[in-house]
Amino acid sequence: MSQATTDALLEVEDLRVAFAVGGREIRAVDGVSYRVEPGQTLAIIGESGSGKTVGCRAIMGLLPAAAMISGSARLRGSELIGLSDAQLRKHRGSDLAMVFQDPARSLNPTMRVGAQITEAIRTHRKLGKPQAKAEAVELLRLVRIPAPDRRFHEYPHQLSGGMRQRVMIAIALACRPKLLIADEATTALDVTTQAQIMELMLELQAELGMSLLFISHDLGLAASYADEVVVMYAGKIVEQAPAGKLFGAGGTVRMRYTRALLDAIPHIERAAHTELPVVSGRPPDPADLPPGCSFAPRCAHAADDCLAKAPALAEHSPGHSWACWHPCENGVAP
Amino acid sequence: MSTETAADDKRPLLSVRDLVQEFVVREGGGTRAGVVQAVSGVSFDIRPGETLGIVGETGSGKSTLARAILQSPRPKSGTVSFRGSELTRLRGRQLLAARRNLQFVFQDPFGSLDPKWQVRSIIEEPLIAYAAGDRQARRKRVDELLDLVGLDPARYAKRHPRELSGGQAQRIAIARAVALEPDLLICDEAVSSLDVLIQAQVLNLFEKLRRELGLSYLFIAHDLALVKQVSDRVGVMYLGKFCEVGPGESVYRQPLHPYTRALLDSIPSTEPGAGRKTTTLRGEPPSPVSPPSGCRFRTRCPRAADRCAAEVPEPRELFPGHQVACHFPLTEPADPAAAAQATATHTTATAPG
């Protein structure tokens, strides 16, 4: 892991983000490292407050100035952390683009969608209005919006949630980014629409040769669509592996928290009215993290060593890293 | 059956018949632009202690259906009989009295809790409104309720909603909803906004209340697996109509409607790469202002034929308690040409077991 090769598209190393709130330091992201290879789909999974969104916003330069960011995030070898806003803007849109959870709030309600896409194109590329318009219609077609010429002139409120998210993706793709970050981009959508948007993103990824980094709370989504999965808890990565090593027939989840997440998802195979395996409590206060493993207070298998010392994330088997003193054997929680 | 009490037990708790809800949409100047047919003739029963789950996409009318049952707003036509009284005919005080046994939990817990009130007052409000006990008794009841939903009264009773997490706030909303020991709890996406670990806790709480209080539920959600988890029977809604209703096991193991099949196929599975099968439903639901003629699903249905445009499919019971409204349900050949090939499927599908 340490022999940093330069062929990674995005290389994040020891990223830390802290906020000072009322005199207390809140460590939202606490030493996170991962790589996104060209053409790869990486999923970052975690509950609200796990630091998954804050980490990605730090890379995009979208955090308030009060955020204390350290570590490194290199996009094709060039450092993003510490860049000025103007420098970052060159990357945003052209190399890096982001799609957010709520398309209704990300779009301007008073502007026609076509104008919003055209604006994104002309911000980054020197194109005349007619060319930009043609390009925008092309983008609407690319994200499989039916009748793009007509939709171009519509307002966001005239579109369904799924259509609005397609428009957001069209805007994100305006300058053909190398990396698309999707932050809970399908969470607000119906299952059928979610499947359509996920498949659209994977198709576009293959068509345009992008990498995709998607952030979600849904482990099922990661299993179905990601190549590589990163699980975060209380600001740290607690498990990381290719999806095939975690899920399905040959897969084994090792970290207790990942196991708990997986077990808590209702399955259609489960009989009705059965009790779901639950973990009590909730994630720790980021300003008052326990000295040992952050998950220990909620973990049924926590022993004295878990409470005393935090396990480091280590590659225990090729490509599969986890941070746990007493991992699950063969993926099953005894 | 021989005695009157036994017959009473068989009587449904809630009986909804031909419920229709429509909204007029107007253009800028106030001219009538069309009528949204949000709920178009829905009928079902919920027996005491039973949970009926309703799944459907955004715009399928499932939330409108829930509100029409509560008479807020009142449905355009149809009947809603709850514990023997016809809610559509009740007014004012009588309606309030009937609703005491019919409570509601919404999706956004913070939107339904007054931010300026303490948790204690929030849970106590329905007790005051329905004059249930004196101050002392109410206090005790609030403590019991907090206990029931797994929150320590000493720690939580004095808090304000902003001092609660999403899961805790939803527990408070549930405590308030069950304060008067209702018979039926309508949950509209009640756990959809919660993180999966908290969601599991709340689902277990619903299960506990079902066991301990004999509560019935109308459980509305877009997540099929979630609905399966809590429901005895499941109804699948599309554009204001039920396309399939039946026992949960039966509907999920052997969906009869192509739409149900498509919904089941859209669930992300925990199999690696399972999502890349591109068999998902194409397109989006048509506008409820002008739903397609005949079967409302036909415009997205892979099995649609001429008959589907001409004739509205009526619900048919193909398996015990399992109804489908489809001309070509999945147990039958899609069209005559495919008949020979599909006969095999038909035989295996209807085999006992």
DSSP H helical segments within chain A, as ranges?
A: 52-60, 85-91, 103-106, 113-124, 129-142, 148-151, 161-172, 191-208, 219-225, 243-246, 256-264, 304-308
The verdict on residue B272 lying in a domain is no
- The answer to whether position B265 is within a domain reads no
- Closest residue on chain B to A197 (Cα): B280
For B53, name the nearest residue in chain A, comparing CA atoms only.
Answer: A272
Report which of B254, B267, B263 is spatially closest to residue B323, judged by C-alpha positions.
B254
Which pLDDT score, from 0 to 100, does residue A112 have?
94
Where does the pLDDT of residue B289 fall: very low under 50, low under 70, confident under 90, or very high at 90 and above?
confident
Does residue B189 share a domain with residue B47?
Answer: yes
The confidence score (pLDDT) of residue B342 equals 40
What is the nearest CA distance from B247 to chain A, expressed in angstroms? 10
Q: What is the pLDDT of residues B235-270, one digit of tens each?
A: 999 999 999 999 999 999 999 999 999 888 888 777
A117 pLDDT above the threshold of 50: yes
Q: Are residues B84 and B1 in the same domain?
A: yes
Domain contains B278: no
Between B204 and B107, the more confident residue is: B204
pLDDT at B20: 96
* Domain boundaries, given as residue ranges, for chain A: 252-334
Asked if A220 reaches chain B (Cβ–Cβ under 8 Å), the answer is: yes
Q: Across the interface, which of B197, B198, B229 has its CB nearest the CB of A272?
A: B229
Determine the Cα–Cα distance for residues A135 and A131; give it in Å rounded to an integer: 6
Instruction: Give yes or no for residue B341 having a pLDDT over 50.
Output: no
Chain A neighbours among B 170-209 (CB < 8 Å)? 195-201, 203-204, 207
Domain span at B131: 102-181
The model's pTM: 0.83
pLDDT digits (tens, 9 = 90+) for B8-67: 456 899 999 999 999 988 877 778 888 889 999 999 999 999 999 999 888 889 999 999
pLDDT in tens, A10-51: 999 999 999 988 888 889 999 999 999 999 999 999 988 899
| Residue B58 and residue B188 in one domain | yes
pLDDT confidence tier of residue B285, bands split at 50, 70 and 90: confident
B7 and B31 belong to one structural domain = yes
Of A73-77, A278-282, A320-324, B233-237, least confident by mean pLDDT is A278-282
> Is there a domain that residue B279 lies in?
no
Q: Which of B232, B267, B274 sits opposite A272 (nearest CB)?
A: B232
Q: B274 falls in which pLDDT band (50, 70, 90)?
A: low
pLDDT category of residue B273 using cuts at 50, 70 and 90: low
pLDDT at B333: 64
Q: Are residues B17 and B49 in the same domain?
A: yes
- ipTM of predicted complex: 0.82
CATH number of the domain bearing residue B53: 3.40.50.300
Clarify whether residues B190 and B150 are in a common domain: no
Contacts of A190 in chain B (CB under 8 A): 57-58, 222
**Average pLDDT estimate for A114-130:** 90
Asked if the Cβ–Cβ distance from B262 to A192 is below 8 Å, we say: yes
Does residue B192 share a domain with residue B166?
Answer: no
Q: Does A202 touch chain B (CB under 8 A)?
A: yes
H/E stretch holding A275: none
- Flag if B197 and A161 touch (Cβ within 8 Å): no
Burial of residue A1 (CB within 10 Å: 0-12, 13-18, 19+) is exposed
How high is the pLDDT of residue B322? 96
B170 and B132 share a domain? yes
**Closest in B167, B263, B275 to A224, CB measured:** B275
Q: Is the dihedral of CA B41, B47, B49, B53 positive or negative?
A: negative
Which tens digit of pLDDT belongs to each residue from A54-78? 999 999 988 998 999 999 999 999 9
pLDDT at position B3: 42
Residue B275 lies in a domain: no
In DSSP terms, A74 is beta-bridged to A11, A79
Among chain A residues, CA nearest to B197: A264
Amino acid, res. A91: H
| Cα distance between residue A44 and residue A184, in whole Å | 10
Query: Which residue of chain A has the CA closest to B233?
Result: A272
Cβ atoms of B165 and A282 within 8 Å: the answer is yes
Q: How many domains does chain B have?
A: 3
Q: How far is CA B256 from the centre of its chain?
A: 19
Tokens (6 digits) for B70: 């509560």
From A160, A191, A198, residue closest to B222, measured CB to CB: A191
**With an 8 Å Cβ cutoff, is A157 touching chain B?**
no
CB distance from A134 to chain B under 8 Å? no
Residue B131 backbone class (left: φ over 0; alpha: ψ -120 to 50; beta: rest): left
Same domain for B83 and B221? yes
In which band, very low, low, confident or very high, does the pLDDT at B349 lie, cut at 50, 70 and 90?
Answer: very low
